[in-house]
Amino acid sequence: MFTATQDKKLKLAIAGLLVLAAVGAVSFYFLRHPSVMDVGYRPQQPVPFDHRLHVSDLGISCVYCHTSVETSPHSTVPTTQTCMNCHISVKADSPKLQLVRESYEQNIPIEWVRVHKLPDYAFFNHSRHINAGIDCASCHGEVEKQGVIVQKQPLTMGWCLSCHRDPETYSVRTREITGVDVDPALLARPLRQGPQNCSSCHH
């Protein structure tokens, strides 16, 4: 039916397709693997800050430390001054806080290790989401239960779009523990879909 040359070409084409499919499958697996998407990433920080102690046990709200989250696109890491508001007298001699004291006295910021990272070409506005009644836990998990901060979500475009398309399923509504001042009438209404056009996140 086929000549020897045609038979050889057909076998090579089939082998090429199989190799291409295998490479594609392996690439897809690793691109979707949690280690690549950083789910579970929990770096060691220069100071062992425990959110369970500060938030769950002591009742300190998120906005006490992350002061700009309601007004800024970015949620800032608190300054050493914020820490020292309490630790100037609370556990003032603790060896665990030596770096905090040095930072405060020398006016040199602590180099915290960033946990949640988005690519430079993606833009996320914290204040827009917070003021829409979406809780920090939607993206960061229940931080008040984390001794060490860990990345809970993949932060991929597909994950973001799933929430924009169906926010009632994928997001958590504002909780009292965050300390965010949101209109109760807003929280009583269903969440609106988020934008799904490219320019909303890719400026």
pLDDT confidence of residue 33:
54
In a domain? residue 82: no
In a domain? residue 83: no
- The whole-angstrom separation of Cα 141 and Cα 186 is 22
In a domain? residue 89: no
Looking at the fold, whether 163 and 191 belong to one and the same domain comes out as: yes
How does pLDDT run across 39-63, given as a tens digit for each residue? 889 999 999 999 999 999 999 999 9
Looking at the fold, whether 22 and 58 belong to one and the same domain comes out as: no
In a domain? residue 62: yes
- The whole-angstrom separation of Cα 193 and Cα 171 is 11
How does pLDDT run across 131-166, given as a tens digit for each residue? 999 999 999 999 999 999 999 999 999 999 999 999
pLDDT confidence of residue 135:
96
Looking at the fold, whether 73 and 26 belong to one and the same domain comes out as: no
Domain tally for the chain? Answer: 2
Residue 29 pLDDT greater than 90, yes or no: no
pLDDT confidence of residue 203:
80
- The whole-angstrom separation of Cα 143 and Cα 179 is 14
Looking at the fold, whether 18 and 117 belong to one and the same domain comes out as: no
In a domain? residue 141: yes
Nearest to 136 by CA among 47, 37, 51: 51
Domain membership of residue 25 as a residue range: 10-37
Residue 35 pLDDT greater than 70, yes or no: no
Q: 178 and 146 in contact (C-beta within 8 Å)? A: no
Nearest to 172 by CA among 130, 200, 125, 201: 130
Residues near 171 by Cβ (< 8 Å), separated by ≥ 6?
Answer: 134, 135, 138, 163, 191
pLDDT confidence of residue 22:
80
Looking at the fold, whether 14 and 73 belong to one and the same domain comes out as: no
Residue 198 pLDDT greater than 90, yes or no: yes
Q: In the Cβ-directed half-sphere of 83, how many Cα atoms lie within 13 Å?
A: 23
